[in-house]
């Protein structure tokens, strides 16, 4: 595993989202934080401990340590139909097997959470499961077709798969509208879709859109989506048969309107 990507959405639109990238052997602590106990992931809720826990990356998985003496934490698999792990108080180095996980901490209100993406899990070579032929062959683009991020990718590619004209890729709100009727994605938000697109661009497909060409972030966002779609279609990672993964359209519903350069999402 090449490392993990941690995504902590901002509670306020005026504050930036926190994104951390950790490689094998690196760690990040989370909690309310203080001057004496600084944390890399700040969770400013009074019910969260100042030093609540730690995430550590190994060669082939990541671990969660719970520093709380009273509270258990949950690690949910959003792709697993309710699958989760409970990490009890004072548990050190609990191994987490999920490729995409949501770490959930209890509060006096509802909960606080952040997301962890763990790309490039290691699998045996089907032709050489014992490794007798030497170094294994790595997969150039490791995509899980059952994951939400893949459904987001299919929705981004859909207009070009259905029509070879030079139509631009859907915006983030258009992707949400397209797939929110999926039985497992009724609560999908634009912020979550943006995280999946970032994950696809930076970790799965390793592409980067153009830098900002002016005030605002619309140009960069559009460029990143275009780059993701370009790689997915050129290398056949998304094909016409994948369109069946999308929920059915309403009768007579039009294709998404082209994204306008400079628009958000």
Domain extent at residue 198: 148-245
Q: Is the domain of 110 the same as that of 22?
A: yes
- In sequence order, the β-bridge partners of residue 106 are 111
In a domain, 128, yes or no: no
What is the per-residue pLDDT for 258?
A: 41
- Please name which of 193, 218, 227, 225 lies closest in space to residue 115, comparing C-alpha atoms: 193
Q: Is the domain of 161 the same as that of 240?
A: yes
For the entire predicted model, the pTM comes to: 0.61
Residue 250: burial class (beta carbons within 10 Å; 0-12, 13-18, 19+): exposed
- Measured CA distances, 37 to 21, 25, 43, 202 (Å): 21, 21, 13, 30
Q: Which two tokens stand for residue 173?
A: 């709100």
What is the per-residue pLDDT for 136?
A: 55
CA distance 96 to 73: 13
Per-residue pLDDT of the chain (265 residues; tens, 9 = 90+): 578 889 887 765 545 578 888 988 999 999 999 888 899 999 988 889 999 999 999 888 899 999 999 999 999 988 766 789 999 999 999 999 888 899 999 988 778 899 998 866 555 666 655 555 555 555 667 888 888 999 999 999 999 998 755 667 899 999 999 998 888 888 888 988 998 998 899 888 888 655 433 444 454 566 889 999 999 998 899 999 999 999 987 644 554 444 443 333 3
Number of domains in the chain: 2
Q: Is the domain of 164 the same as that of 222?
A: yes
What is the per-residue pLDDT for 59?
A: 81
**Domain harbouring 76, CATH code:** 2.60.200.20
In a domain, 75, yes or no: yes
């Amino acid at each position: 595993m090449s490392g993990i990507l941690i995504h902590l959405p901002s509670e306020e639109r005026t504050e930036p989202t926190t994104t951390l990238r950790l490689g094998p052997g690196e760690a990040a602590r989370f909690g309310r934080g203080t001057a004496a106990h600084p944390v890399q992931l700040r969770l400013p809720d009074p019910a969260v401990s100042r030093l609540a826990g730690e995430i550590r990356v190994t060669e082939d998985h990541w671990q969660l340590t719970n520093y709380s003496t009273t509270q258990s934490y949950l690690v949910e698999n959003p792709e697993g139909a309710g699958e989760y792990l409970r990490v009890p108080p004072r548990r050190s180095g609990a191994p987490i097997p999920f490729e995409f996980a949501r770490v959930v901490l209890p509060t006096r209100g509802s909960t606080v959470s952040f997301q962890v993406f763990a790309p490039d899990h290691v699998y045996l070579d089907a032709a050489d499961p014992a490794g007798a032929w030497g170094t294994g062959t790595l997969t150039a683009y490791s995509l899980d077709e059952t994951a939400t991020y893949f459904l987001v990718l299919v929705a981004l590619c859909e207009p070009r798969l259905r029509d070879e004209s030079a139509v631009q890729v859907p915006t983030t709100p258009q992707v949400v509208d397209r797939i929110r009727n999926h039985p497992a994605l009724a609560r999908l938000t634009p912020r979550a879709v943006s995280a999946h697109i970032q994950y696809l661009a930076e970790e799965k497909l390793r592409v980067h859109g153009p830098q900002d060409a002016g005030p605002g972030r619309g140009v960069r966002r559009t460029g990143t989506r275009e780059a993701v779609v370009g790689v997915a279609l050129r290398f056949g990672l998304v094909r016409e048969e994948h369109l069946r993964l999308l929920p059915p359209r309403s009768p007579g519903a039009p294709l998404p309107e082209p994204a306008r350069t400079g628009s958000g999402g």
